[in-house]
Amino acid sequence: MKSKFLSGMLISTAIASASMSGCSQDKQTEELITKSSIIATEGRLTPEVMHNLGKLSDPQVSPDGKKILYGVGYTSIEINKNNRELFVMNLDGTDNTQITKSPKSENNARWINSGEEIAYLMGGQIWVMKKDGSEPKQISNYEKEIAEFTVSPKGDKILFISTIKSIKKPVDLYIDLDKSSGRVINDLMYRHWDTFVEEIPHPFIADFDGHSISNIVDILDGEPYECPTLPFGAIDQLSWSPDGENILYSSRKLTSVKYAFSTNTDIYLYSLPFKKAENLTDGMMGYDTDPLFSPDGKMFAWISMERGGYEADKKRLFVMDLQSRQKRELTTDYKYNVETITWLADGSGLYFTSCVKALTGVYHVNIADKAIRQVTNGQFDFDGVQLAGDKLIGTYKSMSMPNEIVSINSSDGSYSQISFENKFILDQVKMGRVQERWIKTVDNKDMHMWVVYPPNFDSTKVYPAILFCNGGPQGTLSQSWSYRWNFQLMAANDYIVILPNRRGTTAFGQEWCEQISGDYNGLNMQDYISSVKELKKEKYVGKVGAVGASYGGYSVYYLAGIHNGLFSAFISHAGIFNQEQMYMMTEELWFPHWDNGGAPWDDNPVAKRHYANSPHKLVKNWKTPILVTHGELDYRVPVEQGMAAFNAAQMMGVPSKMVLFPDENHWILKPQNSILWNRIFYAWLDKWLK
């Protein structure tokens, strides 16, 4: 199932990471993890080489527009741990200097004091150091972990995210039961993503004098609501006004059953002097997120979905005049989603990113006439940008390269890469060719797909192929780089990788996206089959396997029951197997309720057809070898789904294997778990496809 706000940070993960970073009792956390000097044997990408790449993120342009501050995460497979360090370089990429070298991760680094100092998080608390990394000092000693923070425009206040207690434990009910571990549950949303919800995030404001924080105020004091919204909302869901007197924030002010069935997230204007909040988007029933004050503070922009309960609705760009409270949509005639937003310095318009036909680029929209122009081109995915004079600074990536910092000319869209964090490793690795194709579907529509070929591809030879079934189901296979499902890693193992943007993907207009709702087992399954049959026309394509996670895992389970010998192996990670049970076991119920057409007990044609075609009802047709993997902390698609699929395969005598990870959620994130997953993944495919 789809993950919202993918650019955001998982609050619970951020707090857990901060706690781990500050644990000096664990000897392993004291070992310094730095840039890798690994050698790529035979020039091939391997799981080990992939995890030794530096993970660059969060570039911040200095107040004078001359420097860029950013972080890089490094991985030790041996220690099974990540560590993040900070760097500063000139705007053109020169004089790149590492300014921290610590066994504890430094995160959320921000320029303060006119760029003379840097504030950052380490061990769940706020620290300050000189701009060259010297004289670090801890300036907060808050009672709980701080997950993220941002400094007010004047530099006199800090807005930070921490947690408040949200439930009563046994000792709160019965004072003599201080050792009881029981959970007393009275309503829904008692667990979310990978955590039983016992605390929720709240935003706090504190005075900041550069040396300490004081006078801490909970913006949502006494309110039982999340802010930012779990599990993927981050500090970018809050925005300071230029004068520091107001804060915009996004929050879904619902709990229990209402929360579980609703996406109604609103934008609130909080006044610091009066300590009151006003709902600015009352009556707008879908997601309202990413609020951002204009440079003069007279307007704000935000991203909005229209329909409540539908988390894949079009992401529209709105602005509101804060004096008149009049709002305008700027993307009325634009058929694609708006992902991230940045105001122009003069407030005349905004830059935004948008995925269009499987490529995420930077776009510009005027406030006055709503005219939209494309700024960047090229086979890359661009992330959100910041202003630096006539330049835009951000990150970009592709299927062949992880994040690097890019400088974009705002007038003509030309761009140049200015960081080269992974050059040493990537120069050793030969990547496979990435080809763009368009093919016809069974109903004669045009479908986009990517094909990744093995390094040193020889069209006179025969190669096994992998069909990748995308999760979501709404989402897009674009030029992204993943450490979980890496397509160049598949190609490096001598597989041709088939990547169709089937029905349900979001970069081809809303009609193409919405077709999949209520038709999980219909046209998009035929799209998968069409993509494989198209590639099978090539003499160099041999046996084909299908792999996928989440909804992609559902696709694997379903294809296993209908493929009629097209596939020779399957792998499903965190896949949906029994739709009836899934509806009652997942946490964000608005998702299956919309996409499934209702509940299993609803008497309407869409719901009845959907549940009647659940993958578990086709197990009698299973014959093809299948590998099932799942994280036991996955509450989005609970682990019982994977266990049921594996058990059914075993009962049917189908060659099958299951790998469970007790300490992983919907994603396999820990370094050694990822290595294990990859080794079993390729061993399984090699056994049945080579």
Catalytic residue ranges:
550, 634, 666
**Which residue from 143, 153, 270, 257 is spatially nearest to 203, judged by alpha carbons?**
270
**Which residue from 303, 313, 302, 148 is spatially nearest to 235, judged by alpha carbons?**
148
55 vs 404: CA distance, rounded Å: 9
Half-sphere exposure of 394 (CA within 13 A, CB side): 27
> In what side-by-side order are the strands of the sheet with 81-90?
55-61, 67-76, 81-90, 97-98
Q: Name residue 165's beta-bridge partners.
A: 199
In the DSSP assignment, the letter for residue 533 is H
672 exposed, middle or buried (CB, 10 Å; 0-12, 13-18, 19+)?
middle
- Kindly report the three-state secondary structure assignment for every residue of 125-171: EEEEEECCCCCCEECCCCCCCCCEEEECCCCCEEEEEEEEECCCCHH
Which residues, other chains included, contact 620 with Cβ-Cβ below 8 Å and sequence gap of 6+?
Answer: 561, 652
The DSSP element (H or E) to which 689 belongs, if any, is: helix 671-689
The DSSP element (H or E) to which 561 belongs, if any, is: helix 551-562
Which residues, other chains included, contact 659 with Cβ-Cβ below 8 Å and sequence gap of 6+?
Answer: 627, 628, 629, 630, 676, 677, 680
**Which residue from 494, 509, 611 is spatially nearest to 543, judged by alpha carbons?**
494
620 exposed, middle or buried (CB, 10 Å; 0-12, 13-18, 19+)?
exposed
**Which residue from 120, 112, 108, 105 is spatially nearest to 8, judged by alpha carbons?**
108
Matching residue, tokens 């709702």: 517
- Residue 290 Rama label (left phi>0; alpha psi -120 to 50; beta): left
Beta-strand (E) ranges in 222-265? 238-240, 246-251
Q: How far is CA 222 from CA 225, 226, 531, in A?
A: 9, 12, 54
Measured between its terminal Cα atoms, the distance across the chain in Å is 31
Angle, helix 551-562 to helix 523-536, in steps of 10 degrees: 70
553 vs 470: CA distance, rounded Å: 8
335 vs 507: CA distance, rounded Å: 9
Sign of CA dihedral 342, 6, 124, 421: negative
* H helix intervals, 571-633: 579-585, 590-595, 605-612
Which residues, other chains included, contact 40 with Cβ-Cβ below 8 Å and sequence gap of 6+?
Answer: 46, 49, 425, 428, 429
